[in-house]
Amino acid sequence: MNLIIQETGEVVESTMPLVEEETQTVFDIILSGDPSGTVIICILILLLFVALYIYFERLFKIKGSSKIDDKFMLQIKDHVSNGRIDAAKILCAQENSPVARLTEKGISRIGSPLEDINGAIENAGKLEVYKLEKNVSILATIAGAAPMIGFLGTVIGMVIAFRTLAESEGAPEMGTLAEGIYTAMTTTVAGLIVGIIAYIGYNHLVVKTDKVVHQMESNAVDFLDLLNEPA
């Protein structure tokens, strides 16, 4: 029994049961719709995990590639100016970064015409950019495909709702009708969430990659200027 305090201050007993609020988990929300909506949401969750994996894997890779000793080019200049080519190559191997690999490629071409050295650095730079952008296009694909998959679920949900209306005799049951609308709404929300996350992650990686590319170009120019300096 439940105790109720009336306006007069008197405490009386009530036989009315208390209504307990039900809390739904994420899995309850996923499984409470139509089976077709559940399949679509599961696909979107899988795409979300793929997008997050690619984002963090590329982010750590790009951050590692952007790290370079501030005195690296000064040490390269000192070695090259004094004819210590082997020492310069060893320094590049120890640094193990895109900038160092481009510089090592240029050092290995010392003695060739400047156009050949520049061409070798450019070709090596294209390879380094390809390595940095690996799998980033998949993130862009998920950013575009996830909302479309969500909208597919919307269409399926509305088809289910209208089919229920067409097959019902008289007034349709609201629970059955709401199932299709529920499927339409949840798949739309899930698709947009995955698409937004993938889109933001993709653009963030593009910005980070551009910074590394600018760093490579800047150091390549410094290295070519070094070779152009009079002996």
How do beta strands 11-14 and 2-5 pair? antiparallel
Q: Which amino acid is at 204?
A: H
Report the mean per-residue pLDDT for the chain.
79
| pLDDT interval class at 138 (50, 70, 90) | very high
Which residues touch 84 (CB under 8 Å, ≥6 apart)?
78
pTM score of the predicted model = 0.75
- Name the strand (E) or helix (H) holding 3: strand 2-5
Average pLDDT over residues 108-125: 84
Residue 109, judged by CB atoms within 10 A of its CB (0-12, 13-18, 19+), counts as middle
pLDDT in the model for residue 12:
47
Q: Is 14 helix (H, G, I), strand (E, B) or coil?
A: strand
Beta-carbon neighbour count of residue 56 at 10 Å? 11
| pLDDT interval class at 55 (50, 70, 90) | very high
d(CA 38, CA 42): 6
> Which of 14-23, 154-163, 189-198, 214-223 has the highest average model confidence (pLDDT)?
189-198
Helix/strand/coil percent split, the chain, to 5: 75, 5, 20
Sequence spans of domains, the chain: 32-223
Residue 197 reports pLDDT greater than 70: yes
Q: Which amino acid is at 221?
A: V
